[in-house]
Amino acid sequence: MARVTISDLAQWKKSGQKWAMLTSYDQITAEIIDEAGIPVILVGDSAGNNFYGYENTIPVTVEELISSSRAVVSSTKNALVVSDLPFGSYESSPEQALETGVRFFKEASPQAVKLEGGIKVIPQIKKLIAAGIPVMGHLGLTPQSVHALGGFKVQGRGEAGNQIIADALALAEAGVFALVLELVPQELAEEISKKLTIPVIGIGAGKGCDAQVLVTNDLLGLTKNPPKLAKAYRNLRVEMENAITEWVAEVRNGEFPGPEQSFN
C-alpha cells in the first residue's frame, strides 16, 4: 500500500470523511500508530516536553526533529509523515525556511512540514511550496509563542477571532494543504472549517473540525499532568509502573529468569 497523500486529504474534505492525526517521535510508537491505520503522523515539536525532557517546545532543535523524523519515516509504510519546523528555524526569512525544509526532506524524507503562525509567515510558506515542500499551517495557541501569548490560554475569543479567521484564509490562499487549530472556541473552529476548502485539524477546538490531532502520550495515559484538551483512552503509565514493579519483585525472589529465558 502506498502512503496517504495530500490529495487523499483533499478528497476526504470534499466527501466529509473525518480522520485522525497522532504524534510520534520514535520507531516503536510510529510503527504501532501506522499499523493502527492512522493516516497522518506528526513529528511534532511537542517532542520537547514529551520525549527530550524540556519544559516546552522552544528548545527543540532541527537536529533533534530530523533524527526523530528519520525514525518515524523509516518505521512506517502507510501514513503521511509531517515534520514540525522548530522554533528559530524559519522565522528570519523565506530563505531560512527553505534551507530548513530542504534539510528535513533530504535528511529524513517526511512528506510535508508544519510551521506556526499567520500572515507574517506567508512568504516562508510560499517559498517552501514553490520548492515542492507541502506545508501544514498551525494557528490559535501556537506553543512556540507561548511566552508572547501569556501562557497556554484559549485564543480567539470575541473580536480576536477575526484575526484567526483572516490568518486562516491567508494561509489557505498561500497554499497550505491543511491547518491545525489549537485551543480556540469551538464555534470559531467550526466557522473556519466551513469557510476553508482544505482540512482543518482541531486540538482543543471542538467537534466542528474535519480532523482531530492528539499527542500520543496523552491518549495513552502516559503524561503525568495531561492538558484539559486531551482524553486518555488507557492508563499505560500505571501499566508500565506495574510491569516494572512485577519484574523487580521476580528478580528479588529469584523467579526471573525462568527456564524460558535461560539457555543450556
Residues that bind ligand KIV (CB under 6 A): 23, 42, 44-46, 84, 138, 180, 182, 203, 213, 215
Hey, how many other C-beta atoms are within 10 angstroms of the C-beta on 1? 5
Q: How far is the CB of 213 from ligand KIV (least distance, A)?
A: 5
Distances (CA, A) of 235 to 122, 163, 213, 219: 41, 38, 19, 9
Dihedral sign from CA coordinates of 63, 3, 21, 179: positive
Identify which of 107, 36, 39 has the alpha carbon closest to the alpha carbon of residue 70. Answer: 107
Q: Which is nearer to ligand KIV, 46 or 76 (CB)?
A: 46
User: For residue 153, what is its C-alpha cell?
Assistant: 490560554
CA within 13 Å, CB half, 158? 1
Q: Which is nearer to ligand KIV, 193 or 250 (CB)?
A: 193
- Among candidate residues 31, 64, 91, 182, the one labeled active-site is 182
Using CB atoms within 10 Å of the CB of residue 169, give its burial: 0 to 12 exposed, 13 to 18 middle, 19+ buried.
Answer: middle
Q: How far is the CB of 119 from ligand KIV (least distance, A)?
A: 19
Q: Which is nearer to ligand KIV, 161 or 204 (CB)?
A: 204
Q: Which is nearer to ligand KIV, 94 or 140 (CB)?
A: 140
Using CB atoms within 10 Å of the CB of residue 37, give its burial: 0 to 12 exposed, 13 to 18 middle, 19+ buried.
Answer: exposed
Q: Which is nearer to ligand KIV, 174 or 213 (CB)?
A: 213
Hey, how many other C-beta atoms are within 10 angstroms of the C-beta on 14? 9
173 is catalytic: no
Q: Cβ(216)–Cβ(30) under 8 Å?
A: no
In the complex, residue closest to ligand KIV by CB = 44
Identify which of 148, 149, 188, 196 has the alpha carbon closest to the alpha carbon of residue 171. Answer: 196
The DSSP bridge pattern shows strands 40-43 and 19-23 to be parallel
SS3 label, residue 143: helix
Which residues belong to the active site?
182
